[in-house]
Amino acid sequence: MIPKPPRWMLFTGVLAGLALAIPPVVIARVRSTPDPNRGVHIFFDMDFQPKFKTQAENPLFADGRAQRYEVLGTVARGETKVDAHRYEGVVDGKWAETLPAGMELTAEFLKRGEQRYNIYCSVCHGYAGFGDGAVNKRAMELMSNTEGPVQGTAWVQAKSLHDPVVREHTVGLLYNIVTNGVRNMAGYGAQIDLEDRWAIAAYVQALQFSQNATIQDVPPEKRDLLPKNVAQAGGDATTEVK
């Protein structure tokens, strides 16, 4: 038989158990009660460093404000947008006709533009730029649904990039359209890097040229390489190449 413990031992045991339950209860209470002045602050870190908070007064300055204006003429590093050619596609108040400094029209640059165009633009404008992308086709189908437009769908057709007006756009204007959008088309400044936007603009011009070139644009020594019917048609690019 187990000997019965003395009464005082039982007593102390129960008391100790109760005492042990106090800290978790206190912690749970403190954790669940919102209080701007935290009572227990074990790690001070930088919570109590001397500092001026927003809108506080600072007698050091004549106007008494702790918040200071930026020093006149300050230029933040990497934040300058003063280069209108690069950021807006504008030179001397006109749409730029050239790429901004630091970018070169190379085959590699156009390839990059093609790849980005195919990702971002072809869905609406189509791979060749005729405004016949998959999204556009689907929207048109929904609109011409015999039961009427689906839930009041309205869709502005993505413009053909071979439209005579669009063909007149300079590379700077195309860049600006890609960046900020135009009328019903949203801008892509947030999704596509600046240099890629220029590459896309350059590629759009290449696409346009691809549909509007003549035999004169082909160097004489390369004309033999063209399919026969193109060469015979005088290089009319609309001739179907079989």
In the complex, the residues that contact ligand HEC under the rule CB under 6 A are 120-121, 123-125, 135, 156, 158-159, 161, 166, 174, 177-178, 182-185, 188, 200, 204
31: which 2 tokens?
């954790």
C-beta of 220: minimal distance to ligand HEC in Å?
Answer: 33
Compute the distance between CA of residue 109 and CA of residue 89 in angstroms, rounded to an integer: 17
Compute the distance between CA of residue 73 and CA of residue 78 in angstroms, rounded to an integer: 15
1: which 2 tokens?
């038989």
Q: Of the two residues 86 and 159, which places its CB atom closer to ligand HEC in the complex? A: 159
Q: Of the two residues 26 and 186, which places its CB atom closer to ligand HEC in the complex? A: 186
Compute the distance between CA of residue 64 and CA of residue 58 in angstroms, rounded to an integer: 5
C-beta of 147: minimal distance to ligand HEC in Å?
Answer: 24
Q: Of the two residues 27 and 186, which places its CB atom closer to ligand HEC in the complex? A: 186
Count of alpha carbons within 13 angstroms of residue 98, beta-carbon side? 7
C-beta of 216: minimal distance to ligand HEC in Å?
Answer: 26
Q: What share of the chain is helix, strand, coil (3-state, %, to 5)?
A: 45, 5, 50
Q: Of the two residues 85 and 120, which places its CB atom closer to ligand HEC in the complex? A: 120
C-beta of 207: minimal distance to ligand HEC in Å?
Answer: 9
